[in-house]
Chain A
Amino acid sequence: MRAPRRSDPAGPSAPGAGRRGGLPVRIHIEPRGSATRPTVAHRILAVMLGVGVGIAYLALQVGSGFFNTVWLATFGSALGLSQVIQLATPLILAGSAVAIAQRAGLWNIGVEGQLFIGAWAGTAVAFALPGLPSGLLVVCTLLGALAGGAVWAVVPALGRTRLGVSEVISTLMLNFVAYLWLAYWATGPWASPGTGTGGGLYSKPLPAGVSLPTFSVGAVQIGVGFLVAVAVALSVALLFRSTRLGVRTRLVGAGGRTASYAGINAPRVQFSVFLLSGAIGGLVGIVVELDHVHSYASTISSNTGYVGIVVALLAAASLAEVPITGFFIALLVAVGGALQIDGVSSSVVLLLTGVVLLFASFSPVLARYSIRVSGRSGRPRHTPADDEVALSASDAVST
């Protein structure tokens, strides 16, 4: 008897939810016969299941006061909301960087490195040109960071597009090199005089005035960096929607022979997209540095490049969704941060995002079922006619 499939996330919980008395609506989750791509509803359901598991884990670990802490760290206080916006800024940029690479069928796991190298290049510009008016210097710093991130992506991009070397491995390896580069500069040439090394690596502070301002809406603080991040995310979304590069990238990313039939030089398109991805990756760190860190420091990233992968994956490579998923993940990061005083490790964010990602990867499975919400008593419960139908549906989705 195969009908009640044990490990389907939708299986055990969903029909029960539809039958429970007292609920004003009924949720019908039924298998569908045909192959379908996951809809937004499926993706949201999958993510919410993941968040539910993560929150349950944290709530059990922290105990009383958990929901109060969560509320104050997010929407419940101006400070919390300001913090979430500050955390969302680099995540939106990192998510955009990963998502545009994905558009061209590439994995940019190297944002964590690009952000340290971009910030290094930007910081070098700031130290090298102290005579400039500060507004101009900030612009030059940002441009330096873009260039630094792009340069850091050149080797993996060439390796992938010219030779077929896995960019997953090459970009990731370079992250460790970039971190050691930071360690060298922050303790060597740019070491801050007279301070200890408590709490990570710090260089001497940036020249005065080299920073991105913050403004307030009511009691909520919003950094200009946040606006920069959203603007970057939306302009790349526009770029990929309506330009030649965008169309070509879509064809290349679709895989198969479509691109070559259309006469597109796929490696060249991938190379350009990879460099653009690296350039945006280069912005991630410098924006944080100019916003509130004010020195070339290890704290400009807390696994931001890696968490950015999840931001991009949740957006399913739809670039315009990245600010939303970035903000959403920032909520989780804020919760994780607030719980550290309760003895939760600083890496708990990776655990939470990992669980969310795991469940998000189930959305093709959920897509085997249709989700309907109705106010009246619904149809009788469906039993899956046959595994074969469901399996062929998932097969069509996954290949």
Chain B
Amino acid sequence: MSNAVLQASLVSAMLAATPLLYAALGELLMERVGMLNIGIEGVLLMGAAVGYITAIESGNVDVGLLAGAATGAVFLLICYGIPVLRLGASQILVGFAVWFIGTGLAAELGIKYTTQPLHTGTRDIAVPGLSDIPVLGKVLFDQPWPVLFGVLLAVAFAFLLRRTRHGLNMRSLGEDPSSAFAAGVSVIRWRAVYVAAGGALMGFGGAVLSVTIAQSWQQAITSGRGFIALALVILAGWRPLGLLWAAYLFGVLLILGDIGQAHGWPIASQFLGMAPYVLTVAILILRTMRERRQSGLPLAPAALGRDWIRSSGA
């Protein structure tokens, strides 16, 4: 593969990975405070639809992306945060509802926009100096701004979780909310905050998918990325920096079909398209096998998915 082709492939892989990275970062934040949301797919779609519609109607791509984030936050708070945190509904059931409602509502909202392409691209950020590095410069430092911003967010979240007092509190919410409560951390309030933050990241990721990458809207635009993101969080061992390599690996897999077609590989495009899904399952299985053999691997937050209510004997 020539340098130019390799570079072009890596550029699009990096771009394809970005929505996954945002979605997985959002889920990671939620899971670290004990909230399991299996409905990422629905939030991605809501962000993608509203972000795209806003970008078309306002003519401003950045406004569209931010609208996607805002939609994600509000949608997840209403459909997930309130039922789980205030009404004691099951996280799994509500997660399904989020997925279904998001998918259906996004399709409803976007129905008039499937035939309207977006003609403006998202602003590139070329980091002076760094973008001149051969191959890697273009891949990392001369991309639409959400790409680099995602990397920075992952680093910031790693710092937040590991090195700050608030990060310690966050982790205690996910491991043992009753102790956190006893130590004066407001469990419900902070969980609500991270539901909104997670929703914003997922919505933003969805908007990146429709506004920045596809520059068009269609009902099935996410094609399971929400669930790949759910798996990425596990693969990354609930660590933000682990998400970086995991997401970029899947970025490569996602564009494998396109690469194959461009090079005329003698294999049906459908089989290349299966790669990300098959590998998600394979890597999950491999990771769990490794987890069984060595004890040092990071595990899920202990209170993940459990309901916590104030009177539960804290």
- Seen from chain A, the residues whose Cβ lies within 8 Å of a Cβ on chain B are 7-8, 61, 107, 155-156, 159, 163-166, 168-170, 172-177, 180-181, 183-184, 188, 306, 309-310, 313, 343-355, 357-358, 360-362, 364-365, 388, 391-392, 394-395, 397-399
- Pick out which of these stretches binds chain A: B51-59, B142-150, B269-277: B269-277
- Which residues on A sit within 8 Å (CB–CB) of B284? 159, 165-166, 169-170
- Which residues on B sit within 8 Å (CB–CB) of A170? 281, 284-285
Q: For residues 58 through 87 of chain B, which have their beta carbon under 8 Å from a beta carbon of chain A?
A: 79, 82-83, 86-87
Interface size on B, residues (CB 8 A): 55
12 example contacts (A-B, Cβ-Cβ < 8 A) are as follows A7-B82, A163-B289, A164-B288, A165-B288, A169-B280, A172-B227, A173-B228, A348-B108, A351-B104, A354-B104, A394-B88, A398-B309
- Which residues on B sit within 8 Å (CB–CB) of A173? 224, 227-228, 231, 277-278, 280-281
Apart from A184-B270, A357-B100, what 17 extra A-B contacts exist at CB < 8 Å? A7-B86, A7-B87, A107-B92, A165-B284, A169-B281, A170-B284, A184-B268, A184-B271, A306-B100, A343-B111, A347-B106, A348-B107, A351-B101, A362-B89, A364-B90, A391-B310, A398-B90
Report the bound CA distance from A350 to B107 in whole Å: 10
Q: Are B108 and A391 in contact (CB under 8 A)?
A: no
Q: Are A398 and B99 in contact (CB under 8 A)?
A: no
- Which residues on A sit within 8 Å (CB–CB) of B82? 7
- Which residues on A sit within 8 Å (CB–CB) of B224? 172-173, 175-176
- Which residues on B sit within 8 Å (CB–CB) of A346? 107, 219
- Chain A-chain B contacts (Cβ-Cβ < 8 Å), number: 168
Main secondary structure on chain B at its contact with chain A? Answer: helix
Report the bound CA distance from A394 to B292 in whole Å: 36
Report the bound CA distance from A399 to B234 in whole Å: 24
Report the bound CA distance from A397 to B93 in whole Å: 14
Report the bound CA distance from A395 to B178 in whole Å: 14
- Which residues on B sit within 8 Å (CB–CB) of A168? 38, 230
Using known A-B contacts A170-B284, A345-B107, A358-B79, determine if residue A8 contacts B96 with beta carbons closer than 8 Å. no
Interface string of B211-231 (1 = CB under 8 A from A): 000000001000110011011
- Is B294 at the interface (CB under 8 A from chain A)? no
Q: Are B111 and A345 in contact (CB under 8 A)?
A: yes
Report the bound CA distance from A159 to B278 in whole Å: 13
Q: Which residue of B lies closest to A307 (CB)?
A: B100
Report the bound CA distance from A354 to B231 in whole Å: 23
- Which residues on B sit within 8 Å (CB–CB) of A343? 111
Q: For residues 96 through 117 of chain B, which have their beta carbon under 8 Å from a beta carbon of chain A?
A: 96-108, 111
Q: Are B285 and A169 in contact (CB under 8 A)?
A: no
Q: Are B281 and A174 in contact (CB under 8 A)?
A: yes
Q: Which 5 A-B pairs have the closest CB atoms?
A: A351-B104, A354-B100, A347-B107, A354-B101, A350-B104
- Is B295 at the interface (CB under 8 A from chain A)? no
Using known A-B contacts A163-B285, A176-B223, A177-B278, determine if residue A364 contacts B89 with beta carbons closer than 8 Å. yes
- Which residues on A sit within 8 Å (CB–CB) of B281? 155-156, 159, 165, 169-170, 173-174
Report the bound CA distance from A348 to B110 in whole Å: 12
Q: Are B277 and A313 in contact (CB under 8 A)?
A: no
- Across the interface, A351 reaches (CB within 8 A) one of B89, B100, B285, namely B100
Q: Are B268 and A358 in contact (CB under 8 A)?
A: no
Chain A proximity of B76: nearest CB distance (Å): 13
Q: Are A350 and B103 in contact (CB under 8 A)?
A: yes
Using known A-B contacts A159-B285, A188-B268, A347-B108, determine if residue A365 contacts B88 with beta carbons closer than 8 Å. yes
Q: Which residue of B lies closest to A336 (CB)?
A: B104
- Which residues on A sit within 8 Å (CB–CB) of B274? 176-177, 180-181
- Is B307 at the interface (CB under 8 A from chain A)? yes
- Which residues on A sit within 8 Å (CB–CB) of B230? 168-169
Report the bound CA distance from A61 to B96 in whole Å: 24
- Which residues on B sit within 8 Å (CB–CB) of A350? 100-101, 103-104, 107
- Which residues on A sit within 8 Å (CB–CB) of B289? 163
Report the bound CA distance from A353 to B97 in whole Å: 8
Q: Are A398 and B234 in contact (CB under 8 A)?
A: no
Report the bound CA distance from A62 to B292 in whole Å: 55
- Is B311 at the interface (CB under 8 A from chain A)? yes
Report the bound CA distance from A181 to B289 in whole Å: 28
Report the bound CA distance from A4 to B277 in whole Å: 48
Report the bound CA distance from A173 to B253 in whole Å: 14
Report the bound CA distance from A394 to B310 in whole Å: 11
Report the bound CA distance from A391 to B188 in whole Å: 14
Report the bound CA distance from A224 to B311 in whole Å: 53
- Which residues on A sit within 8 Å (CB–CB) of B219? 345-347
Q: Are A351 and B311 in contact (CB under 8 A)?
A: no
Report the bound CA distance from A159 to B234 in whole Å: 15
Q: Are B93 and A395 in contact (CB under 8 A)?
A: no
- Which residues on A sit within 8 Å (CB–CB) of B103? 347, 350-351, 354
Q: Are B111 and A354 in contact (CB under 8 A)?
A: no
Report the bound CA distance from A58 to B271 in whole Å: 39
Q: Which residue of B lies closest to A399 (CB)?
A: B307
